[in-house]
Each structure stands twice: as structure tokens, then as C-alpha cells.
Structure 1
């Protein structure tokens, strides 16, 4: 998980890692292939059916129809959406669309999954479904790493590690619970300053 206050550089860093922005300085080495999943699934889920949407990004590879079908089925199974394979996208909830977007990234056989505040627009049930899908994807994968930008401290319990940014700089990285403790102490100090 990658956390920090608004304007700390979380989404910018994620977009640099995804190759969507160029860094102004420094060195970058990201394992490829990598996939970026946007905060709003409506910016990424564009095809009429779940199957078509997950298969959409595979057009850039030289795959047979059978290979495409297998990748789509496997990716949807991993995120718990296989039963929706023929469903029209417009009938899905926000969380279901987000899982379809993640499946599209997985179908491309990404090694790095970059996730930008996936749960921002979701209700609690869909938040848990999306977080669980990502956790299960990484846990059951062969070498997939996920970097998740979030504002929600409760999502840290799903993280293997965390990074806290302020002003474009890493303030702390390490175990998720230690980073959570730092953030909570900063919040308490801020509240005390506001109340004095």
C-alpha cells in the first residue's frame, strides 16, 4: 500500500511507475509487463460485455482465439467474476466493474499491478470484494506484485508492507502496522494542534 495526504505524490508516483508520466529526475526500473488500473472503472471498462472487456487489451498480442478465451476465463476466475462472463458491463456494480478492470490487467500477464485508489467510489461490500480480489490475485500468483494507492487506513490490514509519502518524499516504509501507527500518531498530533 502507498499512503499519504492529498498532494503527497502518490498518484503521480504510480503514473510514473506505469509509464504514463515521465520522471523529471532520477532512475526508474519497473518489471514489465505492468498494468495500471484507474480509480474510476468507468474510465477503463469500455466494452459491452465482461468477456469482451477483459479480452480487449489482448488484441496487441499474437494470440489464438483459444488462448484469448483461456486468459479471459482464468483472469475472471481469479477475481471472482467468471460467472459474469456474458453479462453486459452496464449491469455491473462499481465493485464488479473494478474487478473486471483488474481481470483485464491480469489477462495481459502483467508482473506489476498498479492500482490507483480502487475503492474510492465503492460501497463497503464492493470495497471488501475488490481488496480481497487483489489480495487473492497476488497470493495465488506466480510473481505478481501489486502496489495500491489508498487513503483508507482500514485497507492496510490487507497489505504485506506499506509506504508513507509526504511532499513527494518517502517518510517511512516497512510493515503495514508500523506505517499505520505513524499515520495515526500524525492524525492525533494534528487534532491536538487544531484543538489548542
Structure 2
């Protein structure tokens, strides 16, 4: 049985004096796989990702357990919310400032990370001169430079054109296949499921379906078919 990188067990979360946002969610994502977290707006996808990342700590979940095995990286929907430095190389190096690393090691990590996302040739390019897809790959490179083993991506293609969407999907798929990265990718686009190893469908705060993309498509097809037949 594959090692698990992300595990969620019976997780329930609610804001004070409000109905639960998440209700008894359970799933496990094996190491070295790309899974999509699919669901309509308001289903609890972003809340779940924030809980996994540790960015949402108050209030505490009402019940349940979650864990991530490995160093974590987070990619926002809008890359402009996490890219701060003037150039590509400086931004990828930014997160390494908290580590006691020699300059040569920082430079090596930055070059390696940018090579992994296909942007090494842009190491001195100003951030403002990049496309949206390139900015997202710089954000991914920053996580790789910090030796992240698990990536959480919150609708990273929402603001991208179709070509940039495909470019980013190929990049993450390659990192999973060649580098052994584990990725949980939040989406509302059914077309993106073809890139995934597994899919979790979240609705009204509950995990309704999970399995391979083919299995989840079939289950959703049956669900929507039942609605169309009434």
C-alpha cells in the first residue's frame, strides 16, 4: 500500500454560531500523486485547503484529524498575492532567507527550482514582465526551492488563459511524475480532471465522491442524469 502524504479523517469545521462549513470529511492522498479537489462555489474547498496549510487556525475544527507528511508549499489563486520581489530569481530566493544557507547554496536551489518549472532562462526577468502562467510557475519554484514535498494549489488556473492553464497543468504533472511531488489541486473545471491520479468531489461541506477521474465522472454523470430525468 502506498504511503500517504495527506490524510483527513472525520473533519468537521464551523465558524462560531454558523452551520458547519465542513462535515465529517475523510480522504487520503498517496505520496507522489496529483489529486484534484472538485466542487461548486461554497462547497468548502478553500476552507479545507486553508486548514491543511495551517493558515486557518481559529476557530479550531470541531472534530476530526488532519495531517501532511512532508514539507508544505502553497500556491494562491492570484500569484500577485505571493510574489513580492522585483525579479524572478529574487522572488524564488525570498523564502530561503529564514534558513542559514550559504549564498552558493541559495543560488543553486533557485536555479534548480526554476529549471524544474522551465523558467531558468528568466531568472533575471522582472516579475511584472511575466504572464499569469509564468507567475504561477515562479510561485511553484519558490516552494520547490524550500524543498516542499507537498503542494496545495488553490484554483491556480482561475485567472489564466487556456494556453497558460495547460502550461501550468503540464508543469505540475511533470513535477509529480519526475520529482515525486504530491499535489492537491483545487478546481471547479471538469476538464482539468484528466491530469489527475484521483479526484475528491466536495459538496455542501461533505466528501460526496472520491476515486479515479473516470469513477468520479461516472458518479457525477449519474447524479446529473438523475436530476435531468425528473
CA shift for structure 1 position 188: 4.4
User: Partner of 1:27: helix, strand, or coil?
Assistant: strand
Q: Which residue of 2 aligns with 1:16?
A: 51
Pair 1:56 & 2:56 matched = no
SS in 1 for 2:91: helix
Q: TM-score, normalised by structure 2?
A: 0.80
1:130 aligns with 2:165: no
Q: CA deviation at 1:46?
A: 1.3
Q: How does 1:54-93 map to 2 (within 5 A)?
A: 54-93=92-131
Secondary structure of the 2:124 match is: coil
Larger helix percent: 1
Task: For 1:1-196, list aligned pairs within 5 A.
Answer: 1-22=36-57, 23-24=60-61, 25-142=63-180, 144-190=181-227, 192=228
Deviation at 1:157, TM superposition (A): 0.7
Structure with more of its chain in strand, by fraction: 2
Structure 1 stretches of 4+ moved >6 Å? none
> Which of 42-51 and 167-176 deviates more?
167-176
Residues 187, 40 of structure 1: alpha-carbon distance in 2 compared, 3 angstrom cutoff: farther
Write the deviation string for residues 60-92 of structure 1: whole angstroms up to 9, x where unpaired.
Answer: 111111111111111111111111111000000
Tell me, which stretches of 5 or more residues in structure 1 are unaligned?
none
> How far apart are the structure 2 equivalents of 1:98 and 1:78?
13
CA distance in 1, matches of 2:224, 2:212: 19
RMSD of aligned residue pairs (Cα, Å)? 1.4
In structure 2, do the counterparts of structure 1 residues 32 and 10 end up closer, same or farther at CA, with 3 Å as the change threshold?
Answer: same
What is the count of residue pairs matched by the alignment? 192
